[in-house]
Amino acid sequence: MSAARDYPPPPDVIRGRVAWVFGDDFDIDLVIGVENIKSYDADFLRGKVMRAYDPDFADRVRPGDVIVGGRNFGYGHPHYPPMVALRDLGIAAVLAESFSPGFWRGETYNGMPLLTVPGISTAVGTGDDVAVEWRRAVVRSGGTELHGEPPSDRARRVIEAGGSLKLLLAEHAADSGPPR
Amino acid sequence: MPSTITEKILARAAGVASVKAGENLPVRPDHMIAYDFPGYTDVMFRQMHDDFGIRELAEPERYLVFIDHMLTKGTDKEQEVHQVTRDWCEFYGIPLHEAQGIGHQVMAELGYALPGNFLIHFDGHISGAGAFGALGWGVRRDLLEAWVSGRIHLDVPRTTRFELTGEFAPGVDSRDLVHHIIGEFGADGCAHQVMEFAGPGARSMSIDRRQGLCGMAMFTGAVSAVFEPDEAALSYARRVAAADFTPQLPDPGAEYAAVHTIDLSALRPQVVLPGSARSANTRGAAELSGTPVTKAFIGSCASGRIEDIRAAALVLDGRQVGPGVELNVVPTSDAVHRQAEAEGLLDVLRAAGAQIARSSCDFCFGYQKPLQADENCISTGVLNISGRMGSTEANIYMGSAYTVAASAVAGTITSAEEVTRA
């Protein structure tokens, strides 16, 4: 099992395109197929990702692209490998009407900006250009501007650090206190 | 300021006078729990030691580790996984409980799930602790934050209150209630919230039923679920508690996201179609009557307790598991297994043709006796996504222990009332 790759924090404004729009209650496992959810190997997963939706997906995604979801995005048992695969292709943020709590917590830990943006799933379509001010949860596409729920201070710090592990390491280095 | 049970528990754990929903703050869990699983506990222990340089824990008793997965094949790899866990727990002085049953149940038997306590785990089914008026929250890999700092940052959740009235009809139990709630309010009906259960219907439910209900909270989108602690919960807690505890009740006037009243006596047996527990997959058992099954499973952290085994024995007494059907029953813990044996329930199940397995998580996630392609299984497990119990081509239906036992007899999806009437 190779480890997930290391990714820098996102720029202040994420610029890219909408790579895909998913519906409500979307189970993230389906991105790579349930039979592949035990692999963390980005190279292996690259050949599996989105095959059921768009065989050309892996070739057309560029760094900065985002995916869009409906209500309760990430419902189910949200395993980590599907987002490993999507992030490896350059997906920089997930914008959804709402998130399933387990998915939200798990991917925020990994430093992925997950922004709740009401109206997003019908306001944009696949291929649309987007500019995402992730700290303010403002999404611009064409002449449309949507306002979502800004991340909490803690979530913002996690994303800025490149994930919870890096934030914790920085906090730990600054604080030689408990629990040891 | 009037507070919900959840706000009171989190305020106490955070060491502040009060918290309100929406606030984000660091909270000190009473216990920080895990079961050993490759890629989770082994990685977290290594990170704690190598990346954070932690050589000694100030409060190792706040940590708790269970070995309850991967117990049944006896392979070298299995042994290696568990030896890593044993070594780390010994190094840090962390209490380790091995092969006594499913941790979410054993935790309660050992007196960790006490009224008013706050518990976290990477696994969401820790919410079963809510049966005792404790708050159990599955925090995924953020468990590491608590392991290395003793605290975890949380968004204080809102609460939806469920006022329960009436009592379950024969052949109906809390699995039917949770699937009814999902069907009625949606798979995100309580998203990012805590479900709070109260009322005469809640008090009529056995502790087992409460554990099964709270343990399934995540499928409503909730982060946890909690019962108002009543005399049943308090007397259980007093019997097992090794430490003091402070039960929390909601204040009159506490603010809720929603309040729903549900009459338990009006509920009918529910079955969930393969795929997920979402509302569109929830059906009355009668609607699926006639769907053939080859495997049936009673067990898991939600539904293998003594009440579930009593339910199965009630249905199976004097009957036989149908031809071509394999019914596996896995008591949730060794203690439950011993009690079921002592009550003669397992003899009834064996006489009916059921197979009784030692308590572990292994059936529920397809490690033990995985389903083959095109098999139909009816299960009290917690999850029915493709591939959960073996082949991605197999179908998993979910229902209560009553429904699973009745279906095992009939060889088709059947409610207990149909079998017991025949």
Interface contact A27-B39, CB threshold 8 A: no
Query: Taking CB atoms and an 8 Å cutoff, what residues of chain A touch B186?
Result: 72
Q: Residue B350 carries which side chain, given as an amino acid letter?
A: R
Arithmetic mean of pLDDT, B298-325 = 98
Instruction: Name the DSSP class of A142.
Output: T
d(CA B132, CA B126): 12
Minimal CA separation from B204 to chain A, in Å = 30
pLDDT at A76 (0 to 100): 79
pTM metric for this prediction: 0.95
| Helix H or strand E segment including A42 | helix A42-46
| Cα end-to-end distance, chain A, whole Å | 31
Architecture of domain A13-176: Alpha-Beta Barrel (3.20)
pLDDT at A105 (0 to 100): 94
What are the structural domain ranges in chain A?
13-176
Query: Taking CB atoms and an 8 Å cutoff, what residues of chain A touch B145?
Result: 164, 168
Minimal CA separation from A153 to chain B, in Å = 8
Give the closest residue to B396 by CA, choosing from A178, B404, A157, A63. B404
* Nearest CB to A72 within list B54, B139, B187: B187
Whether pLDDT at A4 is above 80: no
Query: Taking CB atoms and an 8 Å cutoff, what residues of chain B touch A153?
Result: 24
pLDDT at A95 (0 to 100): 98
pLDDT at A140 (0 to 100): 98
| Average model confidence (pLDDT) across chain B | 96
Lowest mean pLDDT among A110-114, A174-178, B155-159, B200-204: A174-178
pLDDT at A42 (0 to 100): 83
Answer for the pair B139, B146: CB distance below 8 angstroms, yes or no.
Answer: yes
Question: Closest-CA residue in chain A for B221?
Answer: A100
pLDDT at A1 (0 to 100): 35
* Nearest CB to B24 within list A33, A101, A153: A153
Instruction: Name the DSSP class of A97.
Output: S
Q: Residue A139 carries which side chain, given as an amino acid letter?
A: V
The pLDDT tens digits of the residues spanning B320-343 come to: 999 999 999 999 999 999 999 999
Arithmetic mean of pLDDT, B371-381 = 97
Query: Taking CB atoms and an 8 Å cutoff, what residues of chain A touch B57?
Result: 179-180
Query: Taking CB atoms and an 8 Å cutoff, what residues of chain B touch A1?
Result: 39
pLDDT at B422 (0 to 100): 62
Whether pLDDT at A179 is above 80: no
Quote the ipTM score: 0.91
Question: Closest-CA residue in chain A for B194?
Answer: A101
Q: C-alpha B229: how far from its chain's center?
A: 18
The pLDDT tens digits of the residues spanning B41-83 come to: 999 999 999 999 999 999 999 999 999 999 999 999 999 999 9
> What are the residues whose beta carbons fall under 8 Å from the beta carbon of B409, sequence distance 6 or more?
B315, B316, B319, B320, B321, B322, B352, B419
pLDDT at A7 (0 to 100): 82
The residue among A29, A36, A72, A176 with the most chain B CBs within 10 A of its CB, best to mutate, is A72
Lowest mean pLDDT among A35-44, A84-93, B192-201: A35-44
d(CA B63, CA B143): 11
Query: Taking CB atoms and an 8 Å cutoff, what residues of chain A touch B51?
Result: 165, 169
Interface contact B385-A77, CB threshold 8 A: yes
Arithmetic mean of pLDDT, B167-182 = 97
The pLDDT tens digits of the residues spanning B253-301 come to: 999 999 999 999 999 999 999 988 788 899 999 999 999 999 999 999 9
Residues 364-383 (B) with a CB less than 8 A from some CB of A: 383
Answer for the pair B301, B109: CB distance below 8 angstroms, yes or no.
Answer: no
> What are the residues whose beta carbons fall under 8 Å from the beta carbon of B272, sequence distance 6 or more?
B179, B281, B282, B283, B384, B397, B398, B399
Interface contact B124-A76, CB threshold 8 A: no
The residue among A103, A153, A154, A171 with the most chain B CBs within 10 A of its CB, best to mutate, is A154
pLDDT at B373 (0 to 100): 96
The pLDDT tens digits of the residues spanning B97-114 come to: 999 999 999 999 999 999
pLDDT at A176 (0 to 100): 59
pLDDT at A177 (0 to 100): 56
Whether pLDDT at B123 is above 90: yes
Q: What is the 3-state secondary structure (H, E, C) of chain B?
A: CCCCHHHHHHHHHHCCCCCCCCCEEEECCCEEEEECCCCCHHHHHHHHHHHCCCCCCCCHHHEEEEECCCCCCCCHHHHHHHHHHHHHHHHHCCCEEECCECHHHHHHHCCCCCCCCEEEECCHHHHHHHHHCCEEEECHHHHHHHHHHCCEEEECCCEEEEEEECCCCCCCCHHHHHHHHHHHHCCCCCCCCEEEEECHHHHHCCHHHHHHHHHCHHHHCCCEEEECCCHHHHHHHHHHCCCCCCCCCCCCCCCCCEEEEEEHHHCCCEEECCCCCCHHHEEEHHHHCCCECCEEEECHHHHCCHHHHHHHHHHHCCCCCCCCCEEEECCCEHHHHHHHHHCCHHHHHHHCCCEECCCCCCCCCCCCCCECCCCEEEECCCCCCCCCCECCCCEEEECCHHHHHHHHHHCECCCHHHHHHC
Arithmetic mean of pLDDT, B12-22 = 97
Question: Closest-CA residue in chain A for B26?
Answer: A154
Say what the alpha-carbon torsion angle B222, B226, B228, B230 is, to the nearest 10 degrees. Answer: 150
d(CA B292, CA B177): 24
pLDDT at A2 (0 to 100): 38
The first and second tokens of residue A147, run together, are 């306002």
pLDDT at B419 (0 to 100): 81
The pLDDT tens digits of the residues spanning B206-253 come to: 999 999 999 999 999 999 999 999 999 999 999 999 889 999 999 999
d(CA B336, CA B400): 18
Interface contact B221-A72, CB threshold 8 A: yes
> What are the residues whose beta carbons fall under 8 Å from the beta carbon of A82, sequence distance 6 or more?
A28, A29, A30, A31, A32, A37, A45, A49
Query: Taking CB atoms and an 8 Å cutoff, what residues of chain B touch A98?
Result: 188, 191
Whether pLDDT at A3 is above 50: no
| Average model confidence (pLDDT) across chain A | 92
Tallying the residues shown for chain A, one arrives at: 180
The residue among B188, B365, B371, B391 with the most chain A CBs within 10 A of its CB, best to mutate, is B188
CA distances (Å), origin B322, targets B291, B312, B316: 14, 14, 11
Return the higher-pLDDT residue of B199 and A3: B199
Q: State the Cα angle at B10 between B106 and B92, rounded to 5°.
A: 50
What are the structural domain ranges in chain B?
270-421
b/e map of B238-272 (b: 16 or more CB within 10 Å)? eeebeeebebbbbeeebeebeebebebeebebbbb
pLDDT at B202 (0 to 100): 98
d(CA B354, CA A38): 32
Whether pLDDT at A108 is above 50: yes
Assign A105 to helix, strand or coil: helix
Q: Which CATH superfamily is domain B270-421 in?
A: Aconitase, domain 3 (3.30.499.10)
